[in-house]
Each structure stands twice: as C-alpha cells, then as structure tokens.
C-alpha cells in the first residue's frame, strides 16, 4: 500500500534484444500527489518515455521485462492484469503524446477520435459524446469547435492539433495526466500557449501531472518537483527550487547550461555536455555519466568503478554523484552559477 | 470532384485512343514495315488450299489492301457508328459499338466479348473476394504473431503461392480434387449464375481457389508488411493509451490504415483481371475473355485481338479511375484536384 | 490396393457381360460351348491397339449422352466451309453427303459407301460425267424433303471461296463451270447445268472438265451435304445448319460448345450405315489439352474430337499405367513429317549435295525428336503406308547417319569440305525445333553447317518458308514441313505437295519438289481411270521425289489415342485414322 496518489518504487523496465539486455529503466522511484506536477527531464534514451508508457501499462504483452511497483491511488499496477490496467487507461490516467500529427489517426476526424476515447469508458450515445467532444475542443481553445469537430488532424495547425490531443486526453477527466514532450513539435510562441493551457487545465481538473521533456525550460514554470534521468536511472530528484537554485549533479548543470533563453544567442552554450548519451546495453562501468563528466577526476577514481547511490543531500533533494557534497556545492557556486548568470 | 471526374474521363478516353493506335500499329503497321504484304496477311485467313485469286479476293474483302490509316479510321468508325458486313448471302449491319468481324470465324467481335464477359466476371468476383479475405486475414495474423510458427508457415506458403503459376497449381488441383477425390467440378464445367447458382459456384470453386491462391499469397505478404508498419505507428500507441481493447486497436485503427494501399492494389488487380485471367481460364477451360484472347492470338485474328485489347484496357483505365476516387474516400488526406 | 480393386471390378464386369450374353436366349449355338465363346465375342477385343482392327465394346444399346471435346475451335460446322478431318468425320452425325466412308475398323473404313445416294457414282463419258440417284424419303430436320437441287446448290455455294474460305477447292478445279459463273450470290441467274444437272429431284449429274476416275472421293466431301437455297444465310449458316442426319443442333455457341439432339425427321430406313445410338451429343470447345486427357482418363469425357492423340504429359502416364495402356490405340495416320530440301540456292541445286544431307541425317535421332516410336515410325518417303500405292522405298539408309556415303556425295557435288546453309522450323513447335537441332548436330559431322531460324506457325508458310521470294533471298536450304491427306489416296495426299505447278507467290506447302518428271506422273495419275493402276502411278511419283532427294522424310505420324470409358463401338477408321464418330454409343 502507499498513501501517495502515485508511488513508483524501484521500477525496472528491461528489453531483451539480440544484442543484449537493454535496461531502459533501471530502478526508478518517485512519488506524485493530486494537483501536483512532476517534470521528468533527460536526453532521448534516458528512459523517461519508457517510464511513462510503463505507468500506463503499454509495455504489457510485449517483450519488456518489468519489475518493481507502481501504486496508483492505492492499486498496484505492475502485477495487475493487463485487462484491468486497460480499463484504467484513458480514464484514470491518460497521456498526451509528442507530435500529434503522427499520434492522431490520420483517417479519423478529430471529433471521432475524442468521441471514441470518451465512449470507451462512458456508456453514452454518440450524440452525447459528440457534444462532450465539442465542449472539450472549446475548452482547450479551439475556435468554432462545432465545425472543427469534423475536421481531420491534417486540417489542423500544429498548435491546434496539440490542443485537440489534450482534449482527447482529458475526455474522461483523468486523475493522472502524462504529457510526453507536449511542446517539442511546436514553435516557441505556441509552446508557451500550450504550457499555459496545461497549467490552467491542471488547476481545473486537479489532476496529477507528469511532464516529460528534454528541456528544463518547459518544466521550469510548471513543475513542483523535477526528476532528472540519465541512462535509465534518476540522477537528481527534488523540488523545482532545488533543481534550479541548488543543482548538485554535473549533468543537471549541463542541462541548465543548455536551456535556450531569449536573452542569449541560440547557438551559444556555456556548459555544453560533451559526448552522447550512453548505450543502454553497455552502460559504462561505475557512474554512467563519468565519460562525459568534466569533474570525473575529482572523485578519487571511484567514477569508473563504483555506481554511485542516490542519496539525500537535504530535505528531499536526492543526488547520485561521487563528488563530495561540499565540493559539488563549491563548484556550483564558484564555477557554474556565475557563468550562467553572466551570460 | 465532378470536374475531376470529367477530366479523368477525358484522360481515360485519350488513353484508350493511344492504346488503340499502339495496338493497331503493332498488328497492322509493324508487320507491314517488316515486309508482310496484304496478301501475306490474307493468307492467314484462308483455307489451306486457297488459290492466289482467292487470297487476293479475301485481302480485298477484309480491306487489307487499303492504307493503314484508312483501315484504322474504318475501325474507329465502326465503334461509333457501326459497320456493314457482307456475309455472302447478304449484307449485315453491325451496330455500334462494332469492333469489326473476326477474320477467322466471321462473327462480330463485340457480341463475342459481351458473351465471354460473365465468365470472366464470375471468376474475378469470386476469386478476388476469396483472396482479399484470406490474404488479409493471414497477413494480419502473421503480423500479430510475427516470428511464430504460424507466421513462418504462412509466409513460406505465401512465397510458394506467389511463385507457382496457375497452370501448375490449377492442373495439380484438378487432378487431385476433380479427378482423384471427385469433390470438385472437372475443367470446363462452367454453368452461368443465372441458370443455376449452386452449379455456378460448384463449377467455379476450383478456379476461384487457384486464382485466389496466387493473389492471396501476395496480399498476405502485403498485409503483413503493412500491419507490421502500421502497428508501430504512434497513433496505434495513442489508441492503446485511450484504453481500447487490443482487438479494436487492430481491426479499427491498425487494419484501417494498413488496408489503404491494399485497396489500391486490389482495385487495379481486379481491373486487370476483368480483362481475362488468361492462365486460369485456359487451365480450367473456362470460356472467358482470357481464353478468347488466347484463341484470338493463336489464330492471329486481328479484330478479335483489337477488341479484346481495348476491352482489357478499358477495364484497367476505369479501375485506375475508381481506385483514385476510392483513395480519396479511404484516405481523407488525399484531395482530388 | 487401388489397382486390385479395379481389377476385381473389371473381371466382375466381364463376368456380367458373359452372363448376359449367355442368357440372351436367341443364341443358336449349343449351350455347352456358349459361355467361353460368348465371353470372347461379347467382351470383344481389348488391350493396346485393340481398336485398330476391331470394334471395341460392340453394342447396339441406345441412349445416353456422348461427351466430346476439343482443345481449340475448328474452322466451321458448315459442311461447305471446313477442311479438318475431325469435322469431316464428325459432321456425318448431323449431315449426309452423297457418299461416305464405311464405318468399319482399319482399312475397311476407307471404302466408300453410298449415303444420300442409292449407290456409288455411275460414270459415263470416260469418267467425265458422274450420276447419282438419291434415296427415297430423305428429309431435313424441319420435315421438308431433300432434293438433288439442294445438293447442287450446296456444291455450287461453297465454290465462293471469299465467303467460304476454309474448304477444299476440288469442285472449283474439276467442275465444268460456265465462264460467267462467279458465285451463287453474285451471279445467281447464270445457268450452271453444264457443271451440274438435276433432271429430277432424285437425280444429280456432275460434269467434269477432265476425267477423274476417283470422283466418288469428291462425292464424299462435305460439300455434297444438301443445303436448301431458302435456308442459306451465307457465312452465318454455320449457326443454323439444317440437319439431314440423325442428329440436329440444339445449342450453338461458337467457340464454346455445341449440343446435338435426335432429329426425329431422320428415317433409319433411308440410312443403312448409321446406328445413331446416343440420345444426344455434348461437344465442348477450347478445353485445355492436359485437362482434356485427364478427363478422358477419368471417364468424365468420352472422345477427343481432334483425334490426333494425347498430350506429351499423358503419353508417359499411358505408357506406365497398364490399365490405361489397355485403353490406348496407336494408329499410323495419313500424315508425314519431313524436311524439305530446297533446290533454289547453291550448292543444294546439285542433287549430290541434297543426297549428302539425307545420308548425313540421323534418322533415329529425328524420330526421337518427333516424340519417339509412339509418335511415329521412321518414314521412307512422303506418302504414308495407309495410302494405296505405297511402297517401302529403300533409296536411303534409315540408321543414325552414314558419314561415309555423305562424304562421298559431298565430293561428287564438288563440296568435299561441306558447306553452310540455313534451316527454318516452326518455333512454337518444340518437336520441330528438336528436329532442326538433330539435323544441325548430325550434319556438322560431315561438314555441313546449319544456321537455325525459327518462325511462328501462323507466318511460317505465308511469310517465310512458304514464300519463294524469302527463301531465295535468305539462302534457306532446309525447312521442316508436314502434310496430312485430305483423303487417303495418292491424289488426296500428294497433289498439293509435289506438283510444281501449284507453287504460288506465298503460302506454299510444296517448298522443294520442282521436277518435270514428277509433274508428268501427276498428270498421268489424273488421267488413269483404273484405281489399281492409278495407285501405282502415285507410288512411282512418291519414289521419284525420293530419287530427286527433294525431301528428307522423318516420320509417318502416329497418334496415341485413348478409348473413352463406357463408350461402345469404338474403333479407328482408316478413312481418318481416328475413332469413327458415326458408330459410337455409350453404355
């Protein structure tokens, strides 16, 4: 049992492949309450999307090996039957996908897709469902929803499509809403609109919201808590304030340094993260981040031999790093933060 | 939409005109260039003891001595306004569309084609339904159970189906089921649908299956590939995320998208088939358009060849048009302009 | 297991036949000896080639449907417009010529017997005038009487070869027609009595422009099947042929099928030769060859009308399966396959060079190429053995090629090192291709190099091998060829292929025989009134062609025919070398 609305404990999602075992998610834990927002941040391949699909039970029946526990409102989902999880899907928990052009079926009208989602879980007539769909479309800010309900996805602009996608996800008043890169495919001004919309909706619906993104900027204003993932593991987890004001992991520093900001030249990067994300099959020995870490030399040789634990530094702020706590704080204060601000 | 159809119909007519000219050239102009004279042509259509005078008279009667352009114009004129034919004891009017008279049997070509059409139509209709249903079903199951024994077996059978011609599978099927087990009709046992529907189906079941086997195999492979691709699409994940049953995900969302290219190919295949399933009709001795074409070609019966070619071309052109219209219905992203 | 069951059934059937014959009651033979004798005669001859000289499964039982089929269409069911042996054989079930072939097995089948006529023709004026008297009581299917005027009209009608292109031209060539006569359609008012007279409704008198003692052969042509002028619809008559025989057309679907049912106006009293056993005939056209064989093997079908034998696939089956083998007949047909040796281009204008080709040829290899011993016997001359006057001609050896003699001939011809020439064949006939390849290999051994050129059958005689302008220009030396008799006598077989005066611009079948001595023999045969002497002259002509080395015969064609299951009175008639279609019945 868990007293939290969503409680993920030691979640592991592994995929056996011909080349070896892919540990996409490898011992992930976090909690989330109703009305709160969690941002999961990481590069592609860090396991953030796999995690969200895992919560929705979309790996069930596939080749994935899943262990650990996912408690949602008092129910454990990993051990639950696929059919039971299916019934929760779309109703209790739903998802907003990246790139709505490919995530919406091209052959069905937007309305039909929303109506379908609503009628799976609600025994209502098509007429009622259609009215509901029009309402939802209006609510997510689509003009002339009575008319647009019969449009096809390709007839919408990118922002409109994302709004429609959100309307579809909200159709059954979900208590947990997962948004996977909800703004990545959109241009900057539209991004802001969509984020505003999601904030408003979350307030209205009082849902628990998980925003998955590679871009810290997206979660900066929305999130209560932030989980930074790297190589299938959490490497830093804390409140938004912890992450933005007192980040302690070199990778998080890198992400902060890569944040696009309106006051900075887009190409300029203060602290670029060198190299590329690790292979999930041959995860580097020791700290998975060490081949890319600028401070690897200050760990006393532990970086490439021991896997660091995720330890609490203070008040719910967790970090997975071999650097001594004082040194991390010193580096942040003297080497990183001034650079970020001076830019 | 209407302007689109009108434009396409005009295009289709032009296409048919080109086909007719090319066909006419192949059979009337090219041999001339190669040195075949009008009397050489006529020699094919006389008895084996014909004298030179007879050959010349026959060449004149068939109009083979006229310039090729005149012959072509006469042929075209026949289609639109009909033609006259001297059958010895009198002159007969062949009403439009008159595709001329067979040089060999002296029968007007068009009624022959109309007479053969129901056979080919019956064959095509039955076979196409069987192969579409069977091919798609096997393809979907194979895709969903990818790598299973079912998938591997089905794909090996499909490969053999695609590679084995009907004159092989048809003859094997005939000797096994018709002459060995005696559960199906022997070859050439066609009964029209209007005469006796049960007999009709009984007489066609083996040709249907033979022809369907060939195409079902191809469709199974196509469907499998299409389903594998579709089931990996984002919108399938979305459908699952909505909480849809897997069966609904597959049939409504997966198949809907995977079938779109199949519909296109199916339309074209049926169009081609309506011009006659040459091998199948010959193996099972079915008096359809394909058999007619074989006879026409083996006897160098030019009016028959022209008539058959035009009919087959017509079916293909129309099938193309229908498929394009259908595509716009099936895929809302397609606009007809 | 299966074979054993069949054997039991077969012996059971034989027993039943024996018993029924035994209990016939009418038997005048002593009962003690009846059983074995009856069993032998009732079961009749069985086994391989039983149908060559015997009536297999004789019976007078009426009724049933006789099912026939053919791989392709034939030219026409109009008796005035057909040149296929199979249709001459078949049309006699619905049509009656003046004279026809005796429905009997073997050589007896070549005898002519009166049909519409009361007797064979009576000649006068040195065989230039032939008179026939029709039997009394003859009627068409519509009940109208058949008159000699209808026979006259039918014969004149088919002279119009631009309308009826298919039939033979014997009447065109031999009747003493008035100059201003063109056709019954174009010149209907011209008096044609100088060619054919009908003094009354029963009598018809033919006047020839030159004597011909074998005129009964003409009278047996389908052209003498009567057609009333009122019912003639020209080329469309084929859709409504008026029956004079025991069956009439019920369904006519050209290219697809015909069905024939009993003609109740046919009076058996006027017809001593037709038994008319089946109640109806079902004839299917355009049946795929292998499927047709399978259907005859299984019993779904009774007769392959073409009568030219089973497909290669079935030949193997018939050879291996003893039960099928016992149902097969392997008659020699009046058809010879040969290679024409064209004497237009040097060095083949020299007889010695032509001889070298024949000596060098592998005659056994050629037989193998044509399909082996079941498909034909090695031929020694053009004329096949079934034809009167045939003699085995031993001008050339029949082995696998005589290199020494070939070299000798080459030296005599002035080409001791051989020469090069081109050979044509019909590319869509695998057997002819094999023949060409066999020739190429065998002749290479003696230094004669062949270039092979294949052409489609449909153009072969009209545009290539049969067109002298082409063969001369392209240096063609050898060409595959083949010929079947119109009817089985020297005239019917040889006249079209050895008379140099028949050679025209294109479409020739005589590709190489241009010899005044041969032409003279042909003329002599035409004029000879005595059958035996005439046959002898044709035999001489045949020998003369071989002496001139104008042709290299490969095989006398043989067909492997299958007797249908449950068919009665089946036998090979010498007239057509296929099953006689007049006598057949079904059990």
| Helices of type H across chain A | 48-55, 82-88, 100-103, 110-121, 126-139, 145-148, 158-170, 188-205, 216-222, 240-245, 250-258, 325-331, 337-342
CB–CB of B331 and A106 under 8 A?
yes
CB–CB of A152 and B238 under 8 A?
no
Domain definitions of chain C by residue range: 1-327+565-587, 332-558
CB of B240 less than 8 A from some CB of A:
yes
Classify residue A332: in a domain, yes or no.
yes
Q: Is the pLDDT of residue C345 over 80?
A: yes
Give residue C56's pLDDT. 93
**A166–chain B nearest CA distance, Å:** 12
Task: Name the closest residue on chain B to residue A86, using Cα atoms.
Answer: B243
Give the residue among C422, C432, C511 at the shortest CA–CA distance from C469. Answer: C511
Cα torsion angle, A39, A40, A43, A49, sign:
negative
CB of B180 less than 8 A from some CB of A:
no
Q: Which of C80, C287, C462 to substitute to test the interface with B, most B CBs within 10 Å?
A: C462
Give residue C37's pLDDT. 33
Q: Which of B89, B108, B192, B295 to substitute to test the interface with C, most C CBs within 10 Å?
A: B89
Which residues in B lie closer than 8 A to residue A88 (C-beta atoms)? 243
Q: Which CATH superfamily is domain C1-327+565-587 in?
A: Periplasmic binding protein-like II (3.40.190.10)
Six-digit token string for B237: 């994940």
CB–CB of A107 and B245 under 8 A?
no
Classify residue A327: in a domain, yes or no.
yes
Q: Is the pLDDT of residue C356 over 60?
A: yes
What are φ and ψ of residue B70, in 5° steps?
A: -65, -45
CB of A99 less than 8 A from some CB of B:
yes
Residue numbers of chain A with a pLDDT score lower than 70 = 1, 260-272, 341-343
Number of domains in chain A: 1
**Torsion angle in degrees (nearest 10) through CA of A214, A217, A220, A225:** 10
Give B138's Cβ-side CA count (13 Å radius).
26
Which residues in C lie closer than 8 A to residue B57 (C-beta atoms)? 161-162
CB–CB of B43 and C462 under 8 A?
yes
Do chains B and A touch, with touching meaning 3 or more CB–CB pairs less than 8 Å apart?
yes
Picking from C167, C256, C294, the nearest residue to B179 by CB comes out as C294
Q: Is the pLDDT of residue C307 over 70?
A: yes
Q: What is the pLDDT of residues C365-420, one digit of tens each?
A: 999 999 888 889 999 999 998 888 898 988 898 889 999 999 999 999 999 999 99
CB of B239 less than 8 A from some CB of A:
yes
At the top level of CATH, the class of C332-558 is alpha beta
CB of C288 less than 8 A from some CB of B:
yes
Classify residue A284: in a domain, yes or no.
yes
Query: How many cross-chain Cβ pairs, B to C, lie less than 8 Å apart?
Result: 149
List chains adjacent to chain A, taking adjacency as at least 3 C-beta pairs closer than 8 Å. B
Where is mean pLDDT largest: C35-39, C240-244, C383-387, C481-485?
A: C240-244
Report the distance separating Cα C367 and Cα B187, nearest Å: 33
Are the C-beta atoms of B85 and B92 separated by less than 8 Å?
Answer: yes
Do chains C and A touch, with touching meaning 3 or more CB–CB pairs less than 8 Å apart?
no
Classify residue A324: in a domain, yes or no.
yes
CB–CB of B243 and A95 under 8 A?
no
Q: Which of B242, B253, B330 to substitute to test the interface with A, most A CBs within 10 Å?
A: B242
CB–CB of C291 and B174 under 8 A?
yes
Picking from A58, A94, A107, the nearest residue to B257 by CB comes out as A107
Give residue C430's pLDDT. 85
Q: Is the pLDDT of residue C342 over 80?
A: yes
Give residue C330's pLDDT. 93
CB of B233 less than 8 A from some CB of A:
yes
Q: Which of C157, C162, C470 to substitute to test the interface with B, most B CBs within 10 Å?
A: C162
Q: Is the pLDDT of residue B187 over 80?
A: no
**A95–chain B nearest CA distance, Å:** 7
Classify residue A190: in a domain, yes or no.
no
CB of B112 less than 8 A from some CB of C:
yes
Give the residue among C484, C482, C502, C526 at the shortest CA–CA distance from C88. Answer: C484
Domains in chain B, ordered, with CATH? 2-98 (no CATH), 110-330 (1.10.3720.10)
> Containing domain of residue A323, as a range?
229-341
**A58–chain B nearest CA distance, Å:** 7
Give residue C30's pLDDT. 36
What are φ and ψ of residue C262, in 5° steps?
A: -60, 140
Q: Is the pLDDT of residue B57 over 60?
A: yes
CB–CB of B243 and A154 under 8 A?
no
Question: Using CB atoms and an 8 Å cut-off, which of residues 31-90 of chain A contact chain B?
Answer: 53, 56, 58, 61, 86-90
Which residues in C lie closer than 8 A to residue B291 (C-beta atoms)? 286
Question: Using CB atoms and an 8 Å cut-off, which of residues 111-130 of chain B contact chain A?
Answer: none
CA distances from B120 to B207, B209, C226, C294 (A): 11, 14, 39, 24
Question: Using CB atoms and an 8 Å cut-off, which of residues 168-187 of chain B contact chain C?
Answer: 171, 174-175, 178-179, 186-187
Which residues in A lie closer than 8 A to residue B260 (C-beta atoms)? 107
Six-digit token string for A45: 């391949």
Q: What is the pLDDT of residues B216-262, one digit of tens each?
A: 888 998 999 999 899 888 899 999 999 898 888 988 899 888 888 89
User: Minimum mean pLDDT among A246-255, C8-17, C163-172, C562-571: which range?
Assistant: C8-17
Give residue C169's pLDDT. 85
CB–CB of B241 and A95 under 8 A?
yes
Show Cβ contacts of residue C210 under 8 Å, excluding neighbours closer than 6 positions.
C128, C174, C526, C527
CB of C193 less than 8 A from some CB of B:
no
List chains adjacent to chain B, taking adjacency as at least 3 C-beta pairs closer than 8 Å. A, C
Report the distance separating Cα C98 and Cα C117, nearest Å: 5
CB–CB of A105 and B238 under 8 A?
yes
Classify residue A256: in a domain, yes or no.
yes
Give residue C107's pLDDT. 85
Classify residue A233: in a domain, yes or no.
yes
Question: Using CB atoms and an 8 Å cut-off, which of residues 24-43 of chain B contact chain C?
Answer: 35-37, 39-40, 43
Report the distance separating Cα A153 and Cα A7, nearest Å: 35
Q: Is the pLDDT of residue C302 over 90?
A: yes
Give residue C13's pLDDT. 37
Give residue C51's pLDDT. 92
Classify residue A238: in a domain, yes or no.
yes
Mean pLDDT of C16-25: 34
As a whole number, the mean pLDDT across chain C is 87
**B22–chain C nearest CA distance, Å:** 21
Report the distance separating Cα C150 and Cα C224, nearest Å: 9
User: Minimum mean pLDDT among A259-263, B39-43, C100-104, C193-197: which range?
Assistant: A259-263
Give residue C97's pLDDT. 97
**C219–chain B nearest CA distance, Å:** 18
Are the C-beta atoms of A178 and B241 separated by less than 8 Å?
Answer: no
Q: What is the pLDDT of residues C510-557, one digit of tens each?
A: 999 999 999 999 989 887 878 889 899 999 999 999 999 999 999 999
Q: Is the pLDDT of residue B124 over 80?
A: yes
Task: Name the closest residue on chain B to residue C428, using Cα atoms.
Answer: B298
Q: What is the pLDDT of residues C75-99, one digit of tens each?
A: 789 999 988 888 899 999 999 999 9
Where is mean pLDDT largest: A219-223, B177-181, C470-474?
A: C470-474
More confident residue, C56 or C429: C56
Task: Give, as one character, the DSSP assignment of residue A144.
Answer: S
What are φ and ψ of residue A109, in 5° steps?
A: -70, 160
**A89–chain B nearest CA distance, Å:** 5
Report the distance separating Cα A47 and Cα A176, nearest Å: 19
Question: Using CB atoms and an 8 Å cut-off, which of residues 259-278 of chain B contact chain A?
Answer: 260
């Amino acid at each position: 049992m868990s007293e939290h609305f969503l409680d993920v404990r030691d979640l592991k999602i592994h995929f056996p492949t011909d080349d070896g075992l892919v540990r996409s998610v490898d011992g992930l834990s976090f909690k989330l309450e109703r009305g709160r927002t969690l941002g999961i941040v990481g590069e592609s391949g860090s396991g953030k999307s796999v995690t969200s699909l895992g919560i929705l039970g979309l790996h069930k029946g596939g080749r994935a090996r899943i262990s650990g526990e996912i408690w949602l409102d008092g129910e454990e989902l990993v051990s639950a039957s696929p059919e039971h999880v299916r019934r929760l899907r779309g109703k209790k928990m739903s998802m907003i996908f990246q790139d709505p052009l490919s995530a919406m079926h091209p052959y069905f009208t937007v309305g039909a897709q929303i109506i379908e989602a609503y009628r799976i879980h609600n025994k209502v007539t098509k007429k009622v469902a259609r009215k509901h769909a029009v309402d939802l479309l209006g609510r997510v800010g689509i003009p002339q929803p009575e008319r647009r309900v019969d449009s096809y996805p390709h007839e919408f602009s990118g922002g409109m499509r994302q709004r429609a996608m959100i309307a579809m996800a909200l159709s059954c008043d979900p208590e947990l809403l997962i948004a996977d890169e909800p703004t990545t495919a959109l241009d900057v001004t539209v991004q802001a609109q969509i984020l505003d919309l999601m904030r408003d909706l979350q307030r209205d619906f009082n849902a628990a919201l998980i925003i998955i993104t590679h871009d810290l900027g997206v979660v900066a204003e929305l999130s209560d808590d932030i989980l930074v993932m790297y190589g299938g593991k959490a490497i830093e987890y804390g409140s938004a304030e912890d992450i933005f004001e007192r980040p302690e992991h070199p990778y998080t520093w890198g992400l902060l340094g890569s944040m696009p900001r309106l006051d900075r030249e887009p190409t300029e990067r203060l602290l670029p993260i060198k190299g590329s994300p690790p292979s999930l099959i041959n995860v580097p020995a020791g700290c998975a981040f060490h081949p890319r870490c600028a401070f690897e030399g200050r760990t006393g040789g532990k970086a490439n031999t021991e896997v660091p634990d995720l330890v609490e530094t203070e008040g719910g702020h967790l970090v997975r790093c071999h650097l001594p706590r004082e040194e991390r704080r010193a580096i942040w204060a003297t080497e990183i933060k001034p650079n970020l601000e001076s830019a | 939409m209407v302007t689109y159809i009108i434009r396409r119909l005009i295009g289709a007519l032009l296409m048919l005109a080109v086909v007719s000219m090319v066909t006419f050239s192949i059979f009337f102009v090219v041999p001339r260039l190669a040195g075949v004279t009008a009397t050489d042509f006529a020699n094919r259509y006389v008895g084996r003891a014909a004298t030179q005078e007879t050959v010349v008279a026959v060449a004149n009667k068939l109009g083979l001595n006229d310039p090729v352009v005149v012959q072509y114009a006469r042929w075209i004129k026949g289609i639109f306004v009909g033609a006259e034919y001297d059958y010895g004891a009198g002159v007969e009017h062949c009403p439009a569309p008159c595709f001329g008279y067979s040089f060999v049997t002296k029968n007007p070509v068009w009624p022959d084609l109309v007479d053969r059409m129901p056979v080919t139509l019956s064959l095509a209709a039955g076979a196409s339904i069987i192969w579409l249903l069977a091919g798609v079903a096997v393809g979907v199951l194979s895709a969903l159970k990818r790598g299973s024994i079912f998938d591997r077996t089905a794909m090996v059978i499909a490969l053999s189906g695609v590679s084995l011609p009907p004159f092989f599978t048809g003859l094997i099927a005939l000797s096994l089921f018709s002459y060995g087990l005696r559960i199906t009709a022997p070859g050439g046992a066609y009964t029209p649908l209007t005469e006796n529907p049960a007999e009709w189906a009984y007489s066609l079941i083996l040709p249907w299956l033979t022809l369907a086997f060939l195409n079902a195999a191809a469709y199974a492979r196509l469907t499998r590939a299409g389903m594998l691709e579709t089931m990996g699409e984002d919108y399938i994940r979305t459908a699952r995320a909505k909480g849809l049953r897997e069966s609904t995900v597959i049939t409504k969302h997966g198949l809907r998208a995977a079938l779109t290219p199949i519909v296109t190919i199916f339309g074209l295949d049926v169009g081609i088939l309506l011009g006659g399933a040459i091998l199948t009709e010959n193996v099972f001795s079915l008096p359809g358009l394909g058999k007619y074409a074989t006879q026409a070609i083996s006897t160098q019966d030019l009016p028959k060849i022209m008539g058959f070619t035009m009919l087959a071309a017509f079916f293909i052109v129309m099938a193309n048009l229908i498929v394009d219209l259908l595509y716009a219905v099936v895929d809302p992203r397609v606009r007809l302009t | 297991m299966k074979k054993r069951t069949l054997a039991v059934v077969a012996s059971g059937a034989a027993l039943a036949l024996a018993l029924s014959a035994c209990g016939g009651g009418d038997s005048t033979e002593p009962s003690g000896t009846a059983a074995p004798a009856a069993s032998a005669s009732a079961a009749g001859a069985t086994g391989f080639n039983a149908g060559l000289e015997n009536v297999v499964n004789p019976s007078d039982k009426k009724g049933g449907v006789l099912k026939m089929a053919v791989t392709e269409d034939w030219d026409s069911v109009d008796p005035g417009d057909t040149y296929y042996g199979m249709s001459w054989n078949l049309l006699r079930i619905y049509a009656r010529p003046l004279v026809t072939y005796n429905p009997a097995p073997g050589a007896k089948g070549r005898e002519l017997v009166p049909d519409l006529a009361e007797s064979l023709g009576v000649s006068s004026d040195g065989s230039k005038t032939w008179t026939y008297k029709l039997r009394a009581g003859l009627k068409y299917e519509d009940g109208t009487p058949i008159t000699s005027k209808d026979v006259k009209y039918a014969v004149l009608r088919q002279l119009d070869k631009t309308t009826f292109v298919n039939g033979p031209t014997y009447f065109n060539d031999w009747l003493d027609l008035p100059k201003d006569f063109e056709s019954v359609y174009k010149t209907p008012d011209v008096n044609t009595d100088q060619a054919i007279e009908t003094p009354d409704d029963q009598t018809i008198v033919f006047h020839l422009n030159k004597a011909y003692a074998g005129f009964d052969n003409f009278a047996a042509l389908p052209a003498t099947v009567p057609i009333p002028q009122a019912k003639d619809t020209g080329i469309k008559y084929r859709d409504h042929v008026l029956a004079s025989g025991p069956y009439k057309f019920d369904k006519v679907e050209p290219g697809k099928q015909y069905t024939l049912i009993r003609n109740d106006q046919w009076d058996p009293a006027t017809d001593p030769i037709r038994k008319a056993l089946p109640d109806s005939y079902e004839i299917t056209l355009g049946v795929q060859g292998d499927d047709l064989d399978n259907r005859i093997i299984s019993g779904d079908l009774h007769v392959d009308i073409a009568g030219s034998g089973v497909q290669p696939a079935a030949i193997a089956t018939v050879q291996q399966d003893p039960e099928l083998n016992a149902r097969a007949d392997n008659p020699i047909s009046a058809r010879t396959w040969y290679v024409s040796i064209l004497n237009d281009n040097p060095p083949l204008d020299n007889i010695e060079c032509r001889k070298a080709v024949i000596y060098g040829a592998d005659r056994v290899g050629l037989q193998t190429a044509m399909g082996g011993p079941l498909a034909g016997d090695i031929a020694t001359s053009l004329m096949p053995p079934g034809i009167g006057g045939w003699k085995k001609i031993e001008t050339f050896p029949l082995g696998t090629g005589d290199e020494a003699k070939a070299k000798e001939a080459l030296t005599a011809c002035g080409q001791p090192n051989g020469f090069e020439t081109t050979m044509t064949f019909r590319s869509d006939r695998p057997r002819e291709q094999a023949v060409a390849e066999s020739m190429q290999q065998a002749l290479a051994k003696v230094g004669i190099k062949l270039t092979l050129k294949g052409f489609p059958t449909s153009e072969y005689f009209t545009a290539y091998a049969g067109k002298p302008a082409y063969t001369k220009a392209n240096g063609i030396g050898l060409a595959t060829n083949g010929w079947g008799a119109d009817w089985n006598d020297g005239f019917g077989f040889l006249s079209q292929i050895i008379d140099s005066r028949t050679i025209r611009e294109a479409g020739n079948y005589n590709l190489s025989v241009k010899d005044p001595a041969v032409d003279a023999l042909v003329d002599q045969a035409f004029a000879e009134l005595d059958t035996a002497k005439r046959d002898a002259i044709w035999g001489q002509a045949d020998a003369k062609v071989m002496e001139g080395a104008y042709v290299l015969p490969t095989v006398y064609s043989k067909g492997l025919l299958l007797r249908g299951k449950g068919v009665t009175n089946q036998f090979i008639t010498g007239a057509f070398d296929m099953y006689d279609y007049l006598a057949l019945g079904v059990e």
